[in-house]
Amino acid sequence: MSGVRLLVGTRKGGFVLTSDEARRNWQVQGPFFAGWEVYHMAASPAAPERIWASQSNGWFGQVVQRSDDAGRTWAAVGNDFHYADGGPADHLFYDGTPRPFEFTRVWHIEPSPSDPDVVWAGAQDAALFRSGDGGMTWSEVAGLRAHPSAAGWQPGAGGLCLHTVLLSPLEPERLVVAISAAGVFRSDDSGGTWKAANRGLSSGGVLADPDAEVGHCVHHLAAHPSRPETIYMQKHWDVMRSDDGGWNWHEVSGDLPSDFGFCIGVHAHEPETVYVVPIKSDSEHYPPDGRLAVYRSRSGGGEWEPLTRGLPQEHCYVDVLRDAMAVDTLDECGVYFGTTGGQVYVSADGGDNWACAARDLPAVLSVEAQVLA
């Protein structure tokens, strides 16, 4: 009988939630790395017992750990994230002054879909790292910061972070990353060279040139593995869609009550079914009217329906952060998200009905779902 394992990163440690395929009863293990901020935990599709965790705190910095036994034991991998020589020394700080690129933390870990020893790490300050030896050594993918715009990248409110890495099994040399608040960049030669992929994004009121090549506050990207050309984006404002792998974007916010938000997800079996959690505004990070709702579009955006059954519909003032939504690949697609209030919500029926799998965790930073054989 199969089951599901959720990897939940929080402000004060990592948690592992497990259930059988009914996804009704959840066992909670943790906290792992108690007291550390766990920005992300991710499992290798090629070796499901191998799990990565990115932990950091203000005292002791950033550590990536790896478990090869599904989280029972952990060990620090090599943690020398050294920026490559030759890249720009500085980016722009909030006030427009130059600020040196400095490694702070790993926001996102993206294991290779085929090789358990290959893993990518998205870092703050914006850089992409790759390990080909199970994390023992890391090399910056220097071509990204060689992009001529890099010296002009400015941080979003959370820092100058590379938070999204899209890999495609169908296009193994393609990499798509997103940086807040620089935008989307795409490589078609395994990271050797990169182009900005932000045409069609519009950031009026934020950028002097609302259609600038870079400078857009992209919050998250999602794509279905079978459709690498179709990418969905939750931008600071606007839900966007590209049908050419990121080169051109158009808005699909449609009838959402707010097109501000952080997370976005795609149904495991329906590439045109998309999920977002609208947040009221950039200054009020909670659901409109204090009612928590996932919005689902079955048409690839544009038309959205609220999914509220089982979610709090009054006095709810949590946020759902960019990496805190996931789907599973069971026949009836499971959808999951975690909140800054410490709840992990589960739908075992594609979003129609929701239940709380854990209620009082620390603020949730990330959720990943694994289907267990």
Partner 1 sequence: MSAGAVSGGAVSAGARPVRLHLPAQLRELAGAPAEVGLLVQGPVTQRTVLDALEALHPGLVGTLRDRRTGRRRAFVRFYVGEEDLSNASPDDLLPEAVARGELAYVVVGAMAGG
Give the interface with partner 1 as residue ranges (CB under 8 A): 33-36, 57-63, 65, 75-76, 79-80, 82
Min CB(160)–partner 1 separation in Å: 19
Min CB(35)–partner 1 separation in Å: 5
Please count the CA atoms within 13 angstroms of the CA of 99 that sit on its side-chain side.
17
Answer whether 127's CB lies under 8 Å from 114's CB: no
Q: Are strands 13-20 and 218-223 parallel, antiparallel or unpaired?
A: unpaired
Min CB(71)–partner 1 separation in Å: 14
Question: What order of strands is seen across the sheet that includes strand 364-372?
Answer: 27-32, 13-20, 3-10, 364-372
Min CB(143)–partner 1 separation in Å: 23
Min CB(41)–partner 1 separation in Å: 16
Task: Kindly tell me which of 59 and 314 has the beta carbon lying closer to partner 1.
Answer: 59
Min CB(116)–partner 1 separation in Å: 21
Residue 290: phi, psi to the nearest 5?
65, 25
**Residues 228/249/301/352 CA torsion (nearest 10 deg):** 50
Task: Kindly tell me which of 36 and 262 has the beta carbon lying closer to partner 1.
Answer: 36
Q: By CB neighbour count within 10 A (0-12 exposed, 13-18 middle, 19+ buried), where does 116 fall?
A: middle
Task: Kindly tell me which of 63 and 348 has the beta carbon lying closer to partner 1.
Answer: 63
Assigned token pair, 176: 């798509």
**Residues 59/61/66/69 CA torsion (nearest 10 deg):** 10
Task: Kindly tell me which of 60 and 94 has the beta carbon lying closer to partner 1.
Answer: 60
Q: Are strands 139-140 and 161-167 parallel, antiparallel or unpaired?
A: unpaired
Q: Tell the residue number behind the tokens 């080169």, with chain if given.
A: 247
Reference 225, options 301, 275, 270, 170; nearest CA is: 170
Task: Kindly tell me which of 56 and 273 has the beta carbon lying closer to partner 1.
Answer: 56
C-alpha 49/C-alpha 104 separation (Å) is 28
Min CB(59)–partner 1 separation in Å: 4
Min CB(55)–partner 1 separation in Å: 8
Reference 322, options 279, 270, 271, 360; nearest CA is: 279
How big is the CA angle at 215 (ends 129 and 259), to the nearest 5 degrees? 100
Task: Kindly tell me which of 61 and 169 has the beta carbon lying closer to partner 1.
Answer: 61
Task: Kindly tell me which of 37 and 259 has the beta carbon lying closer to partner 1.
Answer: 37
Q: What is the residue type of 252? A: V
Task: Kindly tell me which of 86 and 204 has the beta carbon lying closer to partner 1.
Answer: 86
